[in-house]
A = this chain, B = another copy of it.
Amino acid sequence: MAQVMRAAVLPEPGKPLIIKEVAVPEPGPTQMLIKVLYASVNHRDVWIQKGLYPGIRRGVILGSDCVGIVEKVGSEVDSAWVGKKVIVNPGLEWGPSREVQSPSFHILGNPTDGTFAEYVVVPAENVYQPPLHLSDEEAAVLPLAGVTAYRALFYRGRPQQGNTILITGIGGGVALMALKMATTITDKIIVTSSSLQKIDRALELGATDGYLYTHDDWHKKIIQKWGGVDVVIDGASGPNIPQIIDILNPGGRLVIYGQTAGKIPQLSTAKVFWRHLNILGSTMGSPSDFEEMLELWNAHKLKPVIDRLYSLDEINEAFEWMDNAKQFGKIIIKI
């Protein structure tokens, strides 16, 4: 095999990625070397590229998701894996507790070199068979957004069969993964967006109802039509949180996995304690979350929502597309 490979390298935070030749990495005893077929872009990649993330390593190869072929395994890894098609859990060293990650937890693609390259080295324990009903392109988009959405929705949100679930900011990778997975447990899925077009597409994909959160009375309309909601999956935080608390049913769970809309404004907690509400933070996911996520996609033959495909050479265009929030679904990088 080759000694060098093409990779998308971040020269320094804030600068565009550079495609250049670097040495093919060597797997350690418990690792695998994977020949990447497809990768996909996450918001995390864009934030790192822009310098909006802690602990950025200059010269890092970004990218958390991939589907690939095992090229070579370390001395302690079963050689039967060689030649197999695999998907990778990008969460490294989560640790023993499902509840929280260990201090050494990190994600493939910074500071470790990631998947926007012809080859990537990963721990053997992070490698799984991709769902058989998915194409390589489709499977490549699952890992980070899929595990984040699975944990937020099922491990943290704990919806009951038939619950009313609200997913805010539909169009993003995690929100659409949550939508797909929510269809396995309820037929009452409400979405919000700032775009009618995105709401219409979500309705085609299994959402039951949708609202423009840019309209002042969106939450009142939800109360009028649905009474209230049981579980909310939100990656925005920001000014809409008080309205979300207003529409939560008693005992309801608001799971927050991001802050794209900024801080929460001044907040009364009276409804939070009277209604025994739960405001729950969630990020990424544990190995168990990843495994259960794969099982769910297999069991229900779920298909992810794909926005578009770029080549590795077009990776900066792909980042720009995501940064402008124009995408609806996941962006694939063909390596």
Among A13-21, A76-84, A111-119, A263-271, which stretch is in contact with chain B? Answer: A263-271
Check if A259 sits within 8 Å of B268, measured CB to CB.
yes
- Which of B99, B269, B274 lies in contact with A276, CB distance below 8 A? B99
A256 touches B273 (CB 8 A): yes
The residue in chain B whose Cβ has the minimal distance to the Cβ of A279 is B279
Task: Give the docked Cα–Cα distance between A276 and B256 (Å).
Answer: 9
Determine if A194 is an interface residue (Cβ-Cβ < 8 Å): no
- Place the interface of chain A in its size category: 20 to 34
Whether B281 pairs with A278 at a CB distance below 8 angstroms is yes
Q: Which of B97, B263, B269, B274 contacts A269 (CB 8 A)?
A: B263
Q: How many copies of this kind of chain does the complex include?
A: 2
**Which residues does chain B contribute within 8 Å of A309, judged by CB atoms?**
none
A275 close to B (CB within 8 Å): yes
In the bound complex, CA of A268 to CA of B99 (Å): 21
Q: Are A266 and B265 in contact (CB under 8 A)?
A: yes
Min CB distance A251 to B, Å, is 4
B279–A283 CB distance below 8 A:
no
Contacts of A251 in B (CB 8 A): 97, 99-100
Please give me the residue from chain B that is nearest to A257 by CB atom. B273
CA distance A168 to B263 in the complex (A): 24
Residue of B nearest to A272 (CB): B281
Q: Does A250 contact B (CB under 8 A)?
A: yes
Q: Is A237 close to B, CB under 8 A?
A: yes
Is B280's CB under 8 angstroms from A278's CB?
Answer: yes
**In the assembled complex, which residues on chain B have CB atoms less than 8 Å from the CB atom of A266?**
263-266
User: For the complex, what is the distance from the CA of A259 to the CA of B271, rounded to whole Å?
Assistant: 10
* A74 proximal to B (CB < 8 A): no
**A171–chain B nearest beta-carbon distance, Å:** 20
Interface residues of A in 283-303 (CB under 8 A from B): 283
Closest to A238 in B: B269
In the complex, residue of chain B having the shortest beta-carbon distance to the beta carbon of A248: B281
Is there a chain B Cβ closer than 8 Å to A59's Cβ? no
Q: Are A264 and B267 in contact (CB under 8 A)?
A: yes
Q: What is the CA–CA distance of A257 and B100 in the complex, to the nearest angstrom?
A: 25
CA distance A256 to B263 in the complex (A): 20
Cβ contacts under 8 Å, A280 to chain B: 276-279
The answer to whether A11 has its CB under 8 Å from any CB of chain B is no
Q: Could you tell me if A273 and B282 are in contact, using CB atoms closer than 8 angstroms?
A: yes
Q: Beyond A99-B276, A156-B276: 14 further Cβ-contacts under 8 Å?
A: A100-B275, A100-B276, A237-B269, A256-B269, A258-B273, A263-B268, A264-B266, A265-B266, A271-B281, A273-B281, A274-B281, A276-B281, A277-B280, A278-B280
